[in-house]
Structure 1
Amino acid sequence: MLKSEGKRKMRKGVVPSLFGCHVSGMRFMMCLTLTVFAAPLAAEIITPDQIERFRESDVVFLGELHDNPHHHANQAAAVSALRPGAVVFEMLTPDKAALITPELLSDEGELARKLDWAQSGWPDFAMYYPIFQASEGAMILGAQVTREDARAAVMGDGVTARFGEDADQYGLTDALPEAQQSRREAMQMSAHCDALPETMLAGMVMVQRYRDATLARAVTHAAHEVDGPVVVITGNGHARTDWGVPSLLPKELNVVSIAQLEQPPEPGQPHDYWVVTDPAEREDPCKAFQ
């Protein structure tokens, strides 16, 4: 039984991201006010001092666009307000997360070195470090599927074999409905500037599902271990409530999904709440495919 079962009363409130495209980070900025666009029946403005209302939830997803410094500033403020029992990072493997000590959390340079962040492919560590600082006192967990692991799973022994015996529990043994598979392949093509061979698309969708399942398993285990909320630091795509990580969690968990976007969401955006911030400064991401 979950330690928090029967204690949580809230449900709505957090968001996911697209397939992990890592872009170099820009300058770090603190955004003091969050403008949140929620579902039509729950629209409201949320500021960092109000986000603690989700403290009684079991799981809170704090979504992001990886290279947007406003999103990471908001995540750090939210973690401070929520005082979670555990924080699960998409950006860390379990082995890297296990290296983190209270002493390391106070030393930005040494923590980045220990995590080998410069070679990780994630944006500037200066944007993420305040989130780690705010996580002090919580269990810090990693649920990253590396590119090498993803490649081996798709081209080698298969995702279900690599994930383990509970692959069916997290949906990896089932084929997606045809319409969803087609839509997700189209999203992968669009996210990669229509530059991918079509033969790659099914495998990329499978890798996304593998990453969702890996996050979901880590979150589920954390929810059994801690009494406070489990906060998930991840991209907006993984935080989707329709087919992302929230959809794979035990039904008894009270889950809030908050996405962070750079413009108001289109109708049907599959998250509980939306935070709209200024955009990051970035070059055209499609240049890399030209």
Structure 2
Amino acid sequence: MRFRLHHLLSAVALGVLMCLPAHAEGHEWLAPHLRDHPLVGQIWSPDDQRQISREGLDERLMAAEILLLGEVHGNPDHHAWQLKLIQTLAAADRAPALAMEIFDLEHQSRLDTLRAQGETNADALADAAGVEARHWPWDEYRPLVQWALDQDQPLVAANLSSEEAMQVARDGLREHMDEAERQRLGLSEPLPGPVGRRLIEHIVDAHCGYLPAARTGGMVDAQRARDAHMADRLLDTADRPVVLIAGSGHVRRDYGVPRYLQTREAQGTVLSLAFVEVREGDESIEDYTTAMEGVYDVILFTPRQRITDPCDDFREQLEGMRKQSS
């Protein structure tokens, strides 16, 4: 698959960028916690270990054929910035296709049918795909989907369904798909040792330490299958820019979608940008080594949507269930 390479910004694009705000600090923050944190609004390039300006970010956006925007699901600032960056591309005549984790692969035909029938209301597409029924915070995603409808840009269902991911976790990659399909998707070989261990740590942390060790391998397979299928959908967008809207774990360069794009030799620049919530008491860039160790191309720091640890809430729920059953 071949992408158009853009080595220089057009004069029109440069003119548009000069009119845009220079820094993320100009954004009106929406998430309620730690808005006054010193890192909020800073944009960093981990590979260079330096802060970059909004103009510098825009230049990188314009050079990318595949833009991966990693979020904390439901953080309103992350979703507002996703829309802002997509609009920046569109204003420079680089309006992208929009691939979204909230839509499963099997939803593509429903989305396409509704659009072919002239549907222009994002809520109708969300209802057809059962977005809220699958517990996605639809209010935050609505403006993104509505933008694609209003601008007549492609919407790409990018995710493996929970049901199919569970089948992969139960059966394993080798049982779930044949060798030819594993080879095509870039799943025929295991992850290198250090990368595989990082993915295991991520999955164990995401399950608050409650995931049985015997199930870890299956969950790794399921995560890899999701990322490989997301990459596959991005490659299906042919020769136009495309933006992926997904959780920040999916856009990591070491074990996420970029790995499978590289394995399949995607042409054109891939840019991975993660929106990172600041933490109370961690006010130096050195406190964010996990995000700054080169797993993302760009990091944009934002306030937090919630101040409590989700695992604390999970433990309280478990304790309540135990008390009710005793």
Same fold (TM over 0.5): yes
CA contact 2:71–2:275 (8 Å) conserved in 1: yes
Q: 1:206 aligned to 2:221?
A: yes
Partner amino acid, structure 2, of 1:274: I
Partner amino acid, structure 1, of 2:134: S
Distance in 2 of aligned mates of 1:45 and 1:253: 23
Q: 1:235 aligned to 2:247?
A: yes
| Aligned position for 1:71 | 78
Identify which of 138, 142, 162 aligns with 1:129.
Answer: 142
Give CA-to-partner distance per residue, 1:223-251, whole Å, 9 cap, x none. x2x43x11111111111112211121125
| Aligned position for 1:17 | none
Give CA-to-partner distance per residue, 1:97-116, whole Å, 9 cap, x none. 33332854x42433332222
| Aligned position for 2:127 | 113
Change (3 A) 1:186 1:170: same
Aligned residues: 263
Query: How far does residue 167 in structure 1 lie from its aligned partner after superposition?
Result: 1.8
Change (3 A) 1:34 1:77: farther
| Percent identity over paired residues | 25
Structure 1: gaps (5+ residues): 11-27
The 4+ residue runs of structure 1 with deviation greater than 4 A are: 160-164
Which shows bigger deviation, 160-169 or 139-148? 160-169
Distance in 2 of aligned mates of 1:56 and 1:40: 17
Query: How far does residue 3 in structure 1 lie from its aligned partner after superposition?
Result: 4.3
Which structure has the bigger radius of gyration?
2
| Aligned position for 1:51 | 58
Residues 18-29 of structure 1 correspond to what in structure 2 (within 5 A)?
29=30
Distance in 2 of aligned mates of 1:120 and 1:151: 15
| Aligned position for 1:19 | none
Give CA-to-partner distance per residue, 1:38-72, whole Å, 9 cap, x none. 2262521327x963752342101111011211101
Query: How far does residue 204 in structure 1 lie from its aligned partner after superposition?
Result: 1.0
DSSP 3-state at the match of 1:242: coil
Query: More relative contact order in 1 or in 2 (CA 8 Å, sep 6+)?
Result: 1
| Aligned position for 2:46 | 39
Partner amino acid, structure 2, of 1:192: H
Query: How far does residue 89 in structure 1 lie from its aligned partner after superposition?
Result: 0.8
Distance in 2 of aligned mates of 1:244 and 1:183: 11
Residues 111-190 of structure 1 correspond to what in structure 2 (within 5 A)?
111-122=125-136, 124-135=137-148, 136-156=151-171, 158-160=172-174, 162=176, 165-190=180-205
CA contact 2:195–2:254 (8 Å) conserved in 1: no
Partner amino acid, structure 1, of 2:86: V
Distance in 2 of aligned mates of 1:176 and 1:275: 28
| Aligned position for 1:91 | 102
Query: How far does residue 180 in structure 1 lie from its aligned partner after superposition?
Result: 2.8
TM-score by length of 2: 0.72
| Aligned position for 1:217 | 232
Query: How far does residue 195 in structure 1 lie from its aligned partner after superposition?
Result: 1.5
- Cα RMSD for the two superposed structures: 2.7
TM-score by length of 1: 0.80
Change (3 A) 1:197 1:30: closer
Larger proportion of helix: 2
